[in-house]
Structure formats: C-alpha cells, structure tokens
Amino acid sequence: MKKIIFPAIMVLMLAALSMPVIAEGPILDVVLANQNPYPVSPGDTLTIEINLQNTGYVEATDKTVEIMPKEPFTLLPGEDKINVVSRIPSRDSHSLTYRLEVSSTAPTNSYPIEFRIYDGETRDIYVEESVSINVEGEPNLVIDDLYTVPEDLEPGAISDVIVRLKNIGTGSANDLQLSLNSSHDEIKPILAKGKVYVGDVDPGETKMVTLSMSVDSVAEEKTYTVMLYANYKGEDNAAATDSFSVGLPVKGTINLDIIKKEPNIERGTIRIEVANKGTTEAKSLEAKLIINGETVGIDYLSSLKANKKTTFEFPLILQGSGQLVMDYIGPGIEKNNVSKDIVLNYEKSNGSGDITTTLVAAIVIIVIVYILYRKFFKKKRSKD
C-alpha cells in the first residue's frame, strides 16, 4: 500500500508545480474599446472609450484612474481627468469615456495616450497603461519658390523651370507627379520633362522639381501664365489633384551694333546704320556721335524693334575717332546706354573731275554761241 501512496504523492506534487500560479490580487489592463472618428483628423474632436479590465481572480476595489494626455491631444474642458472606480469584479471590466481635441498640426501617426491606475487615494504607487490613437492628416502642397535658369527668359530660349514644392500639411502626398501645362503657343513643355515623377512628400518636406520648356522666338515681352498640376494619393490612398497658377516673365535683350557707316559728300553728312540684334524693342533711342572728344551731333528714334535696323545722320566729319553713344529705354522701363567705338577716315575729292566738267560745259557753250553767231552773220550778209 505504501508503495502505491508514495508514487501518487510525487505525481500530485509534479502536477502542482506545472499548474499556472493564480494571482493573489486583481490584474488591471486598459484596453481601447472605441475611437470615434477612426482615424481622427488633425484639428478634430476625438471621443475614446476605454475598458478597465480586471483579468485577475480577485475583485478590484477603490481604484483611481487618471488620464495623462500630451501632444497632440488635449482634454476638453469639463471632462474629468481623474475617475474613481469603486469595484470591478474578477474577470470583468469598467468603461470610461473621454473627449479630447487633436492638434491641427499633428502629422499622420499612431500616438499613445497614457493612463495611471492608483490604489485607493494614495498617489505614490501606480500602474501605467496606454492605448494607441490613429491620427490621419491631409497633405497641403504649396509652391515655396519658383525661378528659372537662366534668370531671364528670352524669346527663342529653352529653359528649365525649377519649382520648390513644400508639403505644409499633416499627411503625406504619395506618388506625386508634377506637370507643366500652357495654353499659350509661345510657351511649350519639352517632351518628357514637362511631366516629372516626384514620389512621396512627407509633412514638412520640401522637394526641388525641374521642368523644361521652350519659349518661341515670337514671344512678346510680358508675363505668361502657365499651370502646374500636382497629382498624388493622400493617406487614404484616394487620388487628388492640386493646381497652381504661376507667372513666367519673358524678358528679352537689346543688342545695338553698328553695321555700316558712309559719308555723303554732296550733302555734307555721315550716315551710320545701326541694327538691334537682340530679342526685344529698344525705346526712346538717342544716338550721340562724339569724335575727338567733341559732340558732332545727336539723332533720335522713337523705337527700334528686335532684328530691325535704322540709319542715324550727323554732320560730316572726315577724319577722327570716338564713340557712338546710344541711350535707350529697356523692357523694364529702365534706362540703359551702350557705347560703340567708331573710326572715320575719309577724303574729299580733289576737284579735277569738277574742273573738267566745267571746262567741257564752257567749251560746249562757246561752240553753240559760235555756231549761232555764224548763222546770224551769214543771214545778215545775204540780205545786204
């Protein structure tokens, strides 16, 4: 009999050691029962319901629960920060509800809200629990800056438009694609570079995007309005499109140059032909001829368009060097001037041609007079 009892006792002891230890007190856990709305947007009001669960085998009594909200959450006025729970039976729970405000600048993320569970009225010892709240923001794209390379767009140029795109929102703009669209024949995107894949732009992130375009040679001196379209997916994976209206100032250049000069001896003038080899009009053009440090003359022209030429006329100077100084008003109503070096080296005719002409004319006149005289003389003699 004793041989049977001893092994039985050993089996019972081993079974007892293998059984889970039953807790002597209550075990409290905080579980998120409901979040409304889910997910919550930045700037919205949030309602959460938590369950204070007693997973132990002993009743929980006189428990104090304190919510410890921190950024991006703020407990709304009138809400109880501290709640006293008198009794939670074993394997049971007690629900608490809180209303909070979410910061308008909270980026998309999962944020913890902490709770402290005190035993009775004492605040020295507590258990800390937390729940996670999902916040889902929205992207907000802005053009932080836009500039071109080169700085001034000129007619006939091919240039890059560099856009600094910033996400000032609270959610990511995913799979972003930026495209340039122009309704003007003078401004056209260049093939694939008129549409650029950017990728994801997180909240607070800035990305530089380069788009290429061409400016027609007949483009006017003005600011052309083009559209930039940003196509992306938000945090909820829904497609979205933002559009931006931007101005592209087309600003031409003025390039005045002397292409021809020649004297007019008979009129006593010198004619200087000037061409505008630039891409825009020069207005209120004043040309001043300075030879050997002295002003010979001044000529005026109201405007000289691009790829056009004109002729200025001054009093004749045969020998000397100096400058042709041209003052004009540019496209930005700014005053400009350019000076071109000029050398004059001409000679007057020695006059032999004029003397010969005069002598021949005199001989012809004498001959004519002589013939007329002979005819008159013969006629008179025949009458006599």
Mean pLDDT rounded to a whole number for the chain: 85
pLDDT (average), residues 128-135: 95
Residue 142: CB atoms within 10 A of its CB come to 14
367 plus 338 within the same structural domain: no
103 plus 35 within the same structural domain: yes
Range in 30-44, 51-65, 345-359 the model is least confident about: 345-359
Q: Residue 103, CB half-sphere, CA atoms under 13 Å: how many?
A: 14
| Residue 10 within a domain | no
Per the CB < 8 A criterion, the answer to whether 272 and 311 are in contact is yes
- Torsion angle of alpha carbons 248, 254, 255, 260, nearest 10°? 140
29 plus 124 within the same structural domain: yes
Please enumerate in sequence order all residues whose Cβ is within 8 A of that of 157, keeping only pairs 6 or more positions apart, or say none.
Answer: 150, 214, 215
For 288-327, the DSSP string reads: EEEETTEEEEEEEEEEE-TT-EEEEEEE---EEEEEEEEE
Measured CA to CA, the distance from residue 54 to residue 57 in angstroms comes to 8
In the structure, what pLDDT confidence band is assigned to residue 67 with cuts at 50, 70 and 90? very high
Query: Burial level of 211, CB count in 10 A (0-12/13-18/19+)?
Result: buried
Per the CB < 8 A criterion, the answer to whether 201 and 167 are in contact is yes
Boundary residue ending a domain (101, 119, 135) = 135
Which residues lie across from 108 on neighbouring strands?
none
| Residue 2 within a domain | no
| Residue 39 within a domain | yes
* pLDDT for 306: 84
51 plus 121 within the same structural domain: yes
Please enumerate in sequence order all residues whose Cβ is within 8 A of that of 339, keeping only pairs 6 or more positions apart, or say none.
Answer: 323, 324, 325, 326
Residue 346: CB atoms within 10 A of its CB come to 13
* pLDDT for 11: 47
371 plus 339 within the same structural domain: no
- Torsion angle of alpha carbons 183, 185, 190, 191, nearest 10°? 70
| Residue 8 within a domain | no
For 349-373, what is each residue's pLDDT tens digit?
A: 654 445 555 666 778 788 787 777 6
* pLDDT for 157: 82
For 259-289, what is each residue's pLDDT tens digit?
A: 999 998 888 999 999 999 888 889 999 999 9
211 plus 272 within the same structural domain: no
pLDDT (average), residues 71-80: 96
pLDDT surpassing 80 at residue 149: no
Boundary residue ending a domain (249, 275, 305) = 249
* pLDDT for 360: 66
In the structure, what pLDDT confidence band is assigned to residue 141 with cuts at 50, 70 and 90? very high
Residue 48: CB atoms within 10 A of its CB come to 21
* pLDDT for 207: 93
Measured CA to CA, the distance from residue 238 to residue 241 in angstroms comes to 10
191 plus 124 within the same structural domain: no
299 plus 281 within the same structural domain: yes
101 plus 169 within the same structural domain: no
In the structure, what pLDDT confidence band is assigned to residue 5 with cuts at 50, 70 and 90? low
Q: What's the chain's length in residues?
A: 384
Boundary residue ending a domain (80, 100, 135) = 135
Run of H or E including 209: strand 206-215
Number of structural domains found in the chain: 4
| Residue 331 within a domain | yes
| Residue 62 within a domain | yes
* pLDDT for 19: 47
Per the CB < 8 A criterion, the answer to whether 296 and 321 are in contact is no
Which residues lie across from 95 on neighbouring strands?
51
pLDDT surpassing 60 at residue 18: no
Question: Which structural domain, as residue segments, surrounds residue 377?
Answer: 352-384
- By DSSP bridging, strand 126-135 and strand 109-119 are antiparallel
For 210-219, what is each residue's pLDDT tens digit?
A: 888 888 877 8
67 plus 86 within the same structural domain: yes
Stated pTM of the model: 0.61
Run of H or E including 372: helix 352-383
- Torsion angle of alpha carbons 294, 299, 300, 304, nearest 10°? -100
Per the CB < 8 A criterion, the answer to whether 260 and 309 are in contact is no
Locate 294 and state its tokens: 């002295």
pLDDT surpassing 90 at residue 87: yes
Per the CB < 8 A criterion, the answer to whether 326 and 285 are in contact is yes
366 plus 279 within the same structural domain: no
In the structure, what pLDDT confidence band is assigned to residue 10 with cuts at 50, 70 and 90? low
Nearest partner of 161 among 222, 101, 228, judged by Cα:
228
| Residue 223 within a domain | yes
| Residue 102 within a domain | yes
More confidently predicted of 156 and 268: 268
- By DSSP bridging, strand 223-233 and strand 28-36 are unpaired
Nearest partner of 218 among 152, 310, 306, 329, judged by Cα:
306
281 plus 320 within the same structural domain: yes
Residue 54: CB atoms within 10 A of its CB come to 24
User: What end-to-end distance do the CA atoms of the chain give, in Å?
Assistant: 207
Which CATH number does the domain housing residue 209 bear? 2.60.40.10
